Amino acid sequence: MTEQPPPPTPSAHALAVVMRDYLSYGESGMADLKEAVHSRSRKPVIGAFCQELRQILAGEVAVPTGVINREFRRRAEEDAALGQGDGDDPMHYDDQQAYEALADLWEYLDLTPEGEPHDAHSVLKATVKKSRSQLLWIDGDPVQALRTWMSWRSLALFVAGVVVCTVSWAVRERVDVTFLRSLLLLLTIAGFAMAGIGGGALWLRRVRYVNPDAFLPTEDKPKETRR
């Protein structure tokens, strides 16, 4: 039986592309990379790079130190050919330095633990999803939670409104006297309004219990500049 070859190691192709097209250009390249990462229509290679970076920092794949050092050498040779280099040896990282540099890059790009851009859209989406789940169920004692946010006056108003609205409408459909029908119609409308106010008050108390900052005005923040 022949010996099977070892599984191929990740080529870190996306990291090499990102280093060549963005990171080699210093601060301006870093800013361009962050903009590309947080773009609504990300390039596939940028998405692959984010996932690759997540796998490296999570220890799922080896740190591609060789890829990083090769890009340093390539950039130094290119600068020397253009007469822009200072003649010093190219930068060289060991595994620890490469890992720390990638960790700093992760923090700079502001990525989520899943390797997705941690922008305002994703934050809003996560908040809505969390609030939606909390509206259905809250961890802890449900009886104590109910006692905390429940308003018995609002509940009584809601129940009374439903009863008045239902009974008034049912009686109105059975009488033929014009005066009584008009009076019962007014009672029906009043009952409907009572039920709406009571139910709305309960809903607002429930939402504020889940999120105390709900319905509060938000301050407009100035947009960050790229440079």
Q: In the predicted model, what is the mean pLDDT of the chain? A: 77
Residue 24 DSSP label = G
User: CA gyration radius for the chain?
Assistant: 32
- The length of the chain, given as a count of residues: 227
pLDDT of residue 224: 43
Q: Which tens digits make up the pLDDT trace of 175-185?
A: 888 888 899 99
Q: What band does 196 get if pLDDT is binned at 50, 70 and 90?
A: very high
Q: Is the pLDDT of residue 156 over 60?
A: yes
Q: How far apart are CA 4 and CA 1, in angstroms?
A: 9
Question: Which two tokens mark 4?
Answer: 């099977």
Cα→Cα distances 136→17, 129, 139, 210, Å: 45, 11, 10, 10
Contacts of 42 (CB under 8 A, 6+ apart): 36, 117
User: Would you say the pTM of this structure is higher than 0.85?
Assistant: no
- Higher pLDDT: 58 or 7? It is 58
Q: Nearest 5°: phi and psi at 117? A: -65, 130
Task: Decide: 10 and 61 in contact? Cβ < 8 Å.
Answer: yes
Mean pLDDT, rounded, for 14-30: 84
Least confident of 147-151, 203-207, 214-218: 214-218
